[in-house]
Amino acid sequence: MTTATTAGAAPAPAPKSRKSVTGTRKTVAALFLLPALVLLGALVVYPIGYSVVRSFYDQSGDGFAGFDNYKTLFTDDGIRTALKNNIIWVVFAPTIATALGLIFAVLTERVRWGTAFKLVVFMPMAISMLAAGIIFRLVYDQDPDKGVANAVWVGVHDTFAESSAFPKAHPGRDSPLVADKGGFITKDTVRTGATVTLPLVGVAPDQMPGDARKAVAPQADPGRITGTTWQDFTRGKGVGKLGVPDPTELGYPGMKIEAVKDGKVVETVKAGDDGTFSFSEKADGAQLRLPASNFKEPYNGLDWLGPSLVTPSIIGAYIWMWAGFAMVLIAAGLAGIPRDLLEAARVDGANEWQVFRKVTVPLLAPVLAVVAVTLMINVLKIFDLVFIIAPGSSQDDANVLALELYRKGFAEDQPGVASAISVFLLLLVIPVMWFNIRRLRREVRR
């Protein structure tokens, strides 16, 4: 009977198709994912695969080149410079940006206007790389009247070191002065009670110092040597006298004058606003010299975009943009730190520096790692700032891999080498991305 019952039993129902955790059938889920997968394949997978294949072919794309394009990565001077600069970028840019973000986040935590400060620091993130590049191209302009960086630098320099106001000044015709060691010296010696005139030319009226006054003819003093140095600008016949201060001519304020006797400086004076000066009896029998310091070119600041400073300057622009990004992420992590731990450390006698170094920073380590790694990925493919800020004369010195990829692929028509650079960049980015993803998964599990 058991056998009959078994034989006559209805067949077991066919298993239903499995559903996903959300209750959606796999076929339906696949249909919804299909457009995204197609786009992913067309925009990511295919370009990567094509670049890998193309990197093994020659310039024409018809001949197989093997690993020749990859050998070029380590033999071409331009690519080697780009690789060196990328290493500098990866080491310094993320480190400094993360450190500044940490400092800003910690310092603004207890300040009443901290939110406003964070907004200002984060604001550069709203600016495109193109706009930021143009801004900093102007900031780093060599002319202090245009470039903010050199305006500040020259201002600081001139605070501690005097700058000449008369770099173009020189003796005119029939002058009592002759050239001497970059400056000028009188042909004859001077005597006590005599007057001396030291006329110069070469300074445009609009370039004269603002404190210059009308030149005054020297007045004889029996116990001293008096004189005047001024801009002897005689326009022509009948207009002013050569070698004599006229009412329309200005003195050289602050002009340094030395009394030189037997090759030694025995006395030094400076001309007043009207160009007049006076020596004591010690200058009797000496020659009067206008030293070279009166005529040196004014300090014009640093060549920020020159070969030696262009890479640090561009890194500075990058930090200006991304320090706000680091600050916002770190501030979010800082808000999640239990205040009990900080207060317990203070109760145990730790000062603020010890709390920061031994409690705050270790607790923020996961956030700091994510920020630093994200910025590393970002700087590995930096292109915009370098391309825009670096002038043509120093672009080779500021070169990075992404810029060299562009130049090889478009300017120099070497698509095989450009593809090899792109694959090399991908290989550099993958370990950093893997580290970041692994850390994020670890944080999710917690």
pLDDT mean values, one per 10 residues, the chain (446 residues):
48 54 72 91 91 89 88 90 94 96 89 85 90 94 90 86 80 88 91 93 84 91 93 66 85 94 93 94 93 85 92 96 93 88 87 89 90 92 93 92 92 90 91 80 72
At residue 421, the 3 state secondary structure works out as helix
Cβ neighbours of residue 104 closer than 8 Å, sequence gap 6 or more: 117, 118, 121, 323, 327, 331
What pLDDT sits at residue 199? 92
Instruction: Note the pLDDT of residue 5.
Output: 47
Note the pLDDT of residue 306.
Answer: 92
The pLDDT assigned to 16 comes to: 54
Mean pLDDT estimate for the chain: 87
Query: How many alpha carbons fall within 13 Å on the CB side of residue 76?
Result: 21
In whole angstroms, what separates CA 223 from the centre of its chain? Answer: 58
Which position has the token pair 């007057």? 195
Q: CA-CA distance, 230 to 166, in Å (whole number)?
A: 11
Q: Which of 204, 206, 258 is nearest to 229 (CA)?
A: 258
Q: What is the pLDDT of residues 274-332, one digit of tens each?
A: 999 999 999 999 999 999 888 888 788 899 999 999 999 999 999 999 999 999 999 99
Q: What is the pTM of this model?
A: 0.75
What is the rounded end-to-end Cα distance, in angstroms, of the chain? 60
Any residues with CB less than 8 A from the CB of 280 and at least 6 apart, and which?
A: 223, 224, 225, 267
Per DSSP (E only), the strands in 187-224 are: 195-200
- Phi, psi torsion values for 131, nearest 5 degrees: -65, -40
Residue in this structure with the two tokens 């975009």, named with its chain if needed? 305
The reported pLDDT for the residue numbered 10 is 54
- Regarding beta strands 225-231 and 195-200, do their DSSP bridges make them parallel or antiparallel, or are they unpaired? parallel
User: Tokens 């030149």 identify what position?
Assistant: 215
Q: What pLDDT score was predicted for residue 247?
A: 83
Q: Within 20-124, where are the H helices? A: 26-40, 46-54, 68-72, 77-107, 114-122
d(CA 393, CA 131): 21
Angle at 51 between CA 400 and CA 436, to 5 degrees: 60
